[in-house]
Amino acid sequence: MMKRLATAFLALAAATPGWGQAVNDYPTNARAEYVFTCMATNGQNRAMLDRCACAIDQIASVLPYEDYVNAETVLRMQQISGERASMFKGMAEMNEFVARLRRAEAEAEILCF
């Protein structure tokens, strides 16, 4: 009975367009980079690996990958000095990208840490 139920669930998941992709639209290297950075910041142990992996999974569930890339780009550009960086520091649209990422990270921290 359980085998049939599991098979039915997997068939339903495969038949539902976009259902699995919404959670898995981040490339593996982006997830790995996040986890490596998270672990470097918080600790190099198994518990932190699990927490950091949970965090990027949670972020991916609420923030599309394109928005994640945009926010990361803005954050990197804000660290640069000079005229090029000024548009990334003052524009409301740029700040909104970062704000959405920060909200997703805060939610992930609550759920995973």
Would you give per-residue pLDDT tens digits along the chain (113 residues)? Answer: 444 433 444 444 444 444 444 556 999 999 999 999 999 999 999 999 999 999 999 999 999 999 999 999 999 999 998 887 788 888 899 999 999 999 999 999 999 99
Give CA 103 to chain center in angstroms. Answer: 11
Please name the residues in contact with 112: beta carbons below 8 A apart, sequence gap of 6 or more. 51, 52, 54, 55, 58
Tokens of 91: 């524009």
Cβ(31)–Cβ(49) below 8 Å: no
Give CA 105 to chain center in angstroms. Answer: 8
Record the pTM.
0.76
How far apart, in whole angstroms, are the C-alpha atoms of residue 14 and residue 7?
11
DSSP string, 14-82: HHSTTHHHHHS-S-HHHHHHHHHHHHHHH-SSHHHHHHHHHHHHHHHHHS-HHHHHHHHHHHHHHTS-S
Tokens of 95: 């700040």
